[in-house]
Amino acid sequence: MDHLLDLGNWNEEEIKDLVEKAIDIKKNPEKYQNSLKNKTLLMIFEKPSLRTRVSFEVGMTQLGGHAIYYNLMTSPMGKKESVSDTAKTASRYVDIIIARLYSHDIIIDFAKNSEVPVINALTDFSHPCQILSDLQTIYEKKGKLKGLKLAYLGDSNNNVTHSLLYGCSICGIDIVVGCPEGEKYEPKKDVIEKAKKLAEASGSKIIITHDAEKAVSEADIIYTDSWMSYHIPEEEKEQRKSIFMPYQVNTELMNQAKKDSIFMNCLPAIRGMEQTEDVIDGPQSIVFDQAENRLHMQKAIMLKLMGVDI
């Protein structure tokens, strides 16, 4: 059974195939319109979402199938019923499941007990669907993946950074992470180690630095993510703001990167926090192309995991 829980065990060819498929789906949506006819997607959500929820639901509709939104608040899972019983039961009804959960261990347990493919729609540890569509967006904008340099700035002990480390290192993109010092803000050590091995195999580099200017120097892509991820309590906002402010992506910092560099943020974003308004709303920003590609890539992911080849 193929699941998509994180990108660490995917290979370059699989990712390239998915990127090509998503681009074809984007160009020729009508070719795929009945490819998941009469199939049902269950969408389990424990956290808020705009992009992931809507793009999966619209994607399933456009492929001829049906999607059910299932808010974990209204579920017995983890309260009156074990995760494994929920997975075993739900997978008797539906053909594919996405889950956005706090804990990565729970999605692993869920997938182990599911009879149908399970897709990680974001956990605190990883966000693989986001990074797959980002790789599509980067490929569309730059015409290649290998040999590019991506600088990620800000909160780095997070899902997006971990998945970027895997995705970039597998595809041969150099990645420099610029973040505050300390375990709480840096990527997990085992992710860095694994990504370094993947980078060695693809001929790319991984650098973790605390110097924002050094991070963006010669970068083709500047990427940032929220300083207030869904699981961070609101009362930490002011403290985090002052800790991350040296890594805010502003025009001055953008000017240190390559002239034709692009700015990315998976969204949701707050102007004045992880980036300034002039950057996110400026000419180098491609954040809404990124958001759009979630739709095309979700379709490609579902088709791949369901073994539908068109």
How many residues belong to the site for ligand NVA (CB under 6 A)? 10
Catalytic residue among 3, 51, 104, 127: 127
Q: Where do we find the tokens 């500047």?
A: 222
Cα separation, 89 vs 85, in Å, equals 6
Q: Which does 50 bind (CB under 5 to 8 A by kind): ligand NVA, ligand CP, none?
A: ligand CP
Q: Is 266 noted as a catalytic residue in this protein?
A: yes
Conformational region of residue 244, where left means phi above 0, alpha means psi within -120 to 50, and beta covers everything else? alpha
How many chain residues bind ligand CP (CB under 6 A)?
9
Rg (CA), the chain: 19
Residue of this chain nearest to ligand CP (CB atom): 52
Taking a C-beta distance cutoff of 8 angstroms, is the pair 177, 210 a contact? no
Site string for ligand CP, 253-272 (x = CB under 6 A): -------------xxx----
- Among 68-76, 155-163, 199-207, 286-294, the segment contacting ligand NVA (CB under 6 A): 155-163
Closest CA to 84 of 63, 108, 52, 120: 108
How many residues appear in the chain?
A: 310
Quick one: how far is CA 204 from the chain centroid? 20
- Using CB atoms, what's the residue nearest to ligand NVA? 229
Stretch that binds ligand CP, among 3-11, 27-35, 47-55, 301-309 (CB under 6 A): 47-55
Q: Give strand ranges (E) for 9-93.
A: 40-45, 66-71
Q: Which of 3, 100, 240, 296 is catalytic?
A: 100
Partner in contact with 225, chosen from ligand NVA, ligand CP, none, beta carbon below 5 to 8 Å by kind: ligand NVA
Contact 203, 167 (CB under 8 A): no
Q: Per-residue x/- mask for ligand NVA, residues 225 to 254, rule CB under 6 A?
A: xx--xx------------------------
For residue 298, indicate whether it is catalytic.
no
Contacts 24+ apart (CB under 8 A), 78-85: 78/106, 83/109, 83/110, 83/113, 84/109, 84/110, 84/112, 84/113, 85/113
- From the candidates 162, 266, 275, 296, give the one annotated as an active-site residue: 266
Considering only residues 111-140, where is the footprint of ligand CP by CB under 6 A? 122, 130
**Span 252-281, contacts to ligand NVA by CB under 6 A:** 266
294 among known catalytic residues: yes
Regarding 285 and contact with ligand NVA (CB under 6 A), the answer is no
Half-sphere exposure of 297 (CA within 13 A, CB side): 28
CA dihedral (226, 41, 46, 111) in degrees, to 10, reads -100
Select from 91, 156, 159, 224 the one that contacts ligand NVA (CB under 6 A).
159
Q: Does 158 bind ligand NVA (CB under 6 A)?
A: yes
For the annotated catalytic residues, the residue numbers are 100, 127, 130, 225, 266, 294
Interface ranges with ligand NVA (CB under 6 A): 122, 127, 158-160, 225-226, 229-230, 266
